[in-house]
Amino acid sequence: MAASNVARKKEWPQLLVICLGAFLFFNSFGSLNVALPNIQAEFGSSLAAIQWVSMMGLVMLSSLSFCFGRAGDLLGQRTLYRAGVVLYAGGAGLAALAGAFWQLLLFRAVMSIGLAMALPMSAAILATIYPQERRGRALGLFASAVAVGRATGPTVGGFLLHLFSWRAVFLINCVIGIAVCAAVFSVFTGRNERKRGAFDYPGAVALMIGYPSLLIALSIGAGAGWSAPRTLAWLALACAGLVSFFFIERRTADPLIERALFKSRPLAAALMSLAAASASYAPINLSAPMFMQKALGLAPLAIGFVMAALPVCTAVASPLSGALADRFEPRALAAAGVALILAGIVVYAFLGVDATGLSVAVALLLIGGGTGFFIPANQKAAFAAAPSEDYGVLSAMLSAIGTAASTLGTTVAVALIETGMAAHGDFSPQAFAEAQGFAFAMMVPLAAVALVSALVGRRLVRLS
C-alpha cells in the first residue's frame, strides 16, 4: 500500500511535465506560422522555401514517428523523450541566432527531429506509468494541453512579434524548452523499460524516403496540378519508398511496426476510427477562416474569436472524456465523440453566404467537443488492446496516422473546393460557399466510417 501511494505521488509531476512539453510543441506550430512573413521579409526567401519552416515539423513528425517509436521501445521511452526535448530546445536557441536562411532551415530541422523523438513518446510514457483504471484521466489532460497549445500559439506569436522580432518566437521556445528539460531530468528517474530486438535500418530508410515524399506530393499537387512533372516525380519516389518499406517489413524479423498489432481487431478498429475522423474534420481548420473572410466578410479579429471555439472546446472536453473513460467503456465515449464530429460537419456543410459567425461557431463547437471526447477515449481503447512492450510503436502509430490522415483529408477538401469553384467559373462568395458545402458533404461519409469503426470496436471487445 505504501509503495502504491509513493507511485501515485510521482504520477502527477510526470504528467505535468508531459503536458508542459505538449503545450510547448503545439504552441510553436501556431506561433511560427505567424512569424513566417517576417522571416521571409528579412531573408528575402521565396514563398515555396519559407513554407518549409512550417512544414518541417509536420514532415519530420510524420516520417520519423515510426522509427523513433520502435527506438523508444528498444532504448527506453524516457531516454528518447529526454533526448528529443534537448534537441528541440537546442535547435530553437540556434534558430534564434541564425544569420542566413539555410541556417534557419537546418536548426528548424534539428527542432523537428527532437519533436519527432519526444512527441510520440508522450502518450506511451503516460500509458506506461498510469494503470488502466487511471489512464484515461491522464490522456485527457494530455489532449487538453495539446488543444491549449494550438489555441494560444497564434496569439503568443503575434504578441512576441508586436514587441520584438521573429527571433523572439524561437527564443521563447528555447527558454520553455530548457525549463521542460530541467523538469524532465528531475522527474523521469529510474530504470527504463526496454524491449529486446534489433532496429530495422533498411525499413527506416525506405520509410523516410517514401512517407515525406508522399506528404510533399500531396502538399504541392493541389497547387501545381496532379499531372505536373514535379508532383509526379514526388509521387513516384513516394511509391518506390513505401512499396520497398512494405516488402522489407514483411521479410524482416524485427520490423518497425509489429505485425501482431494488426491482428487485434479492437486495435485495428481504433486506428481506422482515428484515420477516418482525422481526415473528416481536419480540413475545417483551413477552410473556415477562408469561408468567414471571403464569403461572410468578417473582420480578422472576429475570425480569430470564432476559430478559437474549436480548440477551446476540445481543451474543456478532453479531461472530462478521460475521467469518464476510466469509469465507463472508452469505445462508447469515442463513438459519442465521433457522433458530435459528424453532426458538426453536417452543420458546416449546409452553411451558405447567409450564415453568421455564430452559426460557424456552432459547427466548430460540435467538432471541438467531439474531438475532445474522441481522442482520449480512443487512445485509451488503443493502449488497452496492445501489450505494454509495444506502447512506443503504438503511440507512434497514433501520431503518424492522425497526422497523415489530417493532411490527406485537407488536401482532398482543397482539391474539391477548387474543382467546385472552377465549375462555377467565378470566385464569388456564393461560388466559394457552394464549393465548400460540396467538399464537406464528401467528408460526411468519412466521419460515418469513423463512427461505425468505433461502434464495431466496442462490439468486438464485448465478444472477446
> How big is the chain, counted in residues?
464
Rounded to whole angstroms, the Cα distance separating 173 from 90 reads 9
User: Residue range 121-146: average pLDDT?
Assistant: 82
CATH number of the domain located at residue range(s) 258-464 in this protein = 1.20.1250.20
Determine the pLDDT at residue 433: 82
Q: Which amino acid is at 389?
A: E
What percentage of the chain exceeds 90 in pLDDT? 5
CATH topology identical between 1-59+67-196 and 258-464? yes
Residue 3 has pLDDT above 60, yes or no: no
Indicate the average pLDDT of the chain.
Answer: 80
Determine the pLDDT at residue 195: 59
Per-residue pLDDT reduced to its tens digit, 214-273: 777 766 665 666 777 888 888 898 888 888 888 887 777 677 666 666 677 788 888 888
Rounded to whole angstroms, the Cα distance separating 276 from 271 reads 9
What is the secondary structure of 345-393 as a DSSP string? HHHHHT--TT--HHHHHHHHHHHHHHHHHHHHHHHHHHHHTS-GGGHHH
User: Residue range 436-450: average pLDDT?
Assistant: 88
Determine the pLDDT at residue 367: 92
Residue 340 has pLDDT above 90, yes or no: yes
User: Residue range 165-174: average pLDDT?
Assistant: 88
What percentage of the chain exceeds 70 in pLDDT? 87
pLDDT tier, 61 (very low <50, low <70, confident <90, very high otherwise): confident
Per-residue pLDDT reduced to its tens digit, 366-390: 999 999 889 888 888 888 877 777 7
User: Residue range 296-321: average pLDDT?
Assistant: 83
Residue 460 has pLDDT above 60, yes or no: no
**Under a CB-based contact definition with an 8 Å cutoff, are residues 315 and 371 in contact?**
no
255 vs 101, residue with greater confidence: 101
**38 Cβ neighbours under 8 A, 6+ residues apart:** 161, 165, 166
| 100: three-class secondary structure by DSSP | coil
pLDDT tier, 94 (very low <50, low <70, confident <90, very high otherwise): very high
CATH superfamily placement of domain 1-59+67-196: MFS general substrate transporter like domains (1.20.1250.20)
Per-residue pLDDT reduced to its tens digit, 346-370: 999 888 888 888 888 999 999 999 9
Q: Which amino acid is at 83?
A: A
Per-residue pLDDT reduced to its tens digit, 5-18: 545 666 778 888 88
Range of lowest pLDDT (17-26, 99-108, 209-218, 453-462): 453-462
Per-residue pLDDT reduced to its tens digit, 71-86: 766 777 788 888 888 9
Rounded to whole angstroms, the Cα distance separating 435 from 378 reads 32
Residue 132 has pLDDT above 60, yes or no: yes
Show me where the domains of the chain are located: 1-59+67-196, 200-253, 258-464
